[in-house]
Amino acid sequence: MNNKKTAARHIRVFAISWLAAMALLVASLVWRDNTPLATQLILAAAVVGIALIFGWGGFYYLEISSDKEAFTIKYFNLFPMGREYKAMRLPFSRYRKHEVSTKLGGLFHYLSLYEETGHGVARYPALGLTALSAAEREEIIRFFKKMEK
């Protein structure tokens, strides 16, 4: 399971919208056409806001695979700067549960996985599900619900 196509679409949308906002901001600052200060401030806020939403909004590429003993999740944030490629491998015998949480009224989705350890239950860092389509998100949730039974 992966979200390669939808992740690529989200990267394109981010790049086009951020570059368009940046180009409009630069044009409003360079050209001497008396662009109102309020317009320039709105464009500057759009440039920063788009970057913050995309960087912190849970836009991740996810790839989930499994074998007889464990499942592996490879993931990275789609934000182009500071990208880190990470992976986690969790044995089926130690998998405890999962939780899907949302922020900003369901705009951003996150997956938390819990593992049984010798000292109790440990939670892995949340993985962003925002860059997944609803069908991809449901497929991942079904995968983890099946393991809880």
Structure confidence by residue, pLDDT tens digits, 27-45: 988 887 788 889 999 999 9
H or E element that contains 25: helix 4-30
Q: What is the mean pLDDT of residues 69-80?
A: 91
Q: What is the mean pLDDT of residues 40-69?
A: 92
Q: What's the pLDDT score for residue 24? A: 93
pLDDT greater than 70 at residue 69: yes
Q: Of 129, 136, 138, 87, give the one whose Cα is nearest residue 110.
A: 129
Tell me the Cα Rg of the chain.
Answer: 20
Q: For residues 89 and 74, what is the distance between their CA atoms, to the nearest angstrom?
A: 9
Q: For residues 111 and 132, what is the distance between their CA atoms, to the nearest angstrom?
A: 12
Q: How crowded is residue 64: how many other Cβ atoms within 10 Å of its Cβ?
A: 17
State the pLDDT confidence band at 12, using cuts at 50, 70 and 90.
very high
Q: For residues 48 and 13, what is the distance between their CA atoms, to the nearest angstrom?
A: 15
Spell 110-134 as b/e; 16+ CB within 10 A means b.
Answer: bbebbbeeeeeeeeeebbbbbbbee
Domains of the chain: 1-149 (2.30.29)
H or E element that contains 61: strand 60-66
The angle subtended at Cα 97 by Cα 96 and Cα 98, nearest 5°, is 145
